[in-house]
Amino acid sequence: MTPQPLNRASALLALFVSILWGGNVVALKYGLATFPPFWSAFWRMLSACLAVVLWAKLRGIRILPKGGEWGPFMALSAMFTAQISGLNTGTNWTSAAYAVVLLNSHPVFTNLFAHYFDSEDKLTPRRLFGLFLAFAGIVYVATGRPDASLAPHPGWGNSLMIVSANLLAIRVIYTRRLVQSADPERPVIWQMAFSLPVFLALALASEPLTLKVVDWKPIAAILYQGVLIAGFCFMVWTTLLRKHSAANLSMFGFSVPIFGVAMSAVVFHEELQLNLLLGVALVTAGILIVTRKARAPASEARQ
């Protein structure tokens, strides 16, 4: 089907999804005050998996992997589990504003790695310039010192967020190959399903479950990440990608760090330091340059 031009309704919907994505790390940071990193990952993936399974069922999409898909899906889940582990632990150690900028620099790494693994996705002088700007922004953010009350171990936390962004970039490239022969819902479901026993085992081993009354707000934060981000946003984005070109939609990715930093400032009253603002400007400018007219996979969802 020939892609349709991006109309106002679709553009507003894509912008709305980008705003929700911007709040993903903020919700994660908020929930971590109650749910430790691995318990947070377990409950989030459980709710997200159920949401995407329901979506696939409603659309009549096969859920069980085909014969040759078990191995690739398990490999994808291994990357996913490592990436989410780094994301949750890193966010626990640094501030939400710093975490959201570093995680959402992943399109920069995706473009860099794709140059070596995708023969149709080579770097150009323009994209190299965008990478330079974004990497400069990453350095500014990674070497910053956020509020100690929000970031107990900022150096380690920022480093883990960069590792998580790299793993997310690798996972995006790997998923691009998988969705050439599989509905995007299936790899998304199984990368989460295979991760559930791992996160549960890690949580039981390192984060003993304590029985206590939990306020509705951290539960809402978990559901925001699972049902809204991995469920609703995934469904909306795949629907938009069936109507419009990935190149037109990918331009909205540059706005995610901006929305995330703004939300962190509101929710956590985080001071927007000069190095953070400069880093945001450079990273978003770099993302805008490197993703312009770039391809994005139908199954790419920010985790």
Instruction: Give the helix/strand (H/E) hosting 93.
Output: helix 70-93
pTM, two decimals, is: 0.89
Average pLDDT over all residues of the chain: 88
Q: Identify whether the C-beta of residue 249 lies closer than 8 Å to the C-beta of residue 240.
A: yes
How many domains does the chain fold into?
1
Amino acid identity of residue 287, one-letter, is: I
Q: Identify whether the C-beta of residue 48 lies closer than 8 Å to the C-beta of residue 139.
A: no
Residue 114 lies in a domain: yes
CA distance 90 to 29: 10
| Averaged pLDDT for residues 190-200 | 97
pLDDT digits (tens, 9 = 90+) for 116-165: 776 666 778 888 898 889 999 998 898 888 989 999 999 999 999 999 99
pLDDT digits (tens, 9 = 90+) for 238-264: 888 778 876 677 778 788 999 999 999
Residue 2 lies in a domain: no
Residue 301 lies in a domain: no
Amino acid identity of residue 33, one-letter, is: A
Is the pLDDT score of 265 beyond 90? Answer: yes
CA distance 59 to 131: 38
Residue 278 lies in a domain: yes
Residue 296 lies in a domain: no
Find the domain containing 272 and state its range.
Answer: 8-291
Q: Identify the pLDDT of residue 253.
A: 78
Length of the chain, please? 303
Residue 242 tokens read as 């069936």
Interhelix angle for 185-206 vs 37-58, to 10°? 160
Cα-only R_g, the chain = 18
Residue 189 lies in a domain: yes
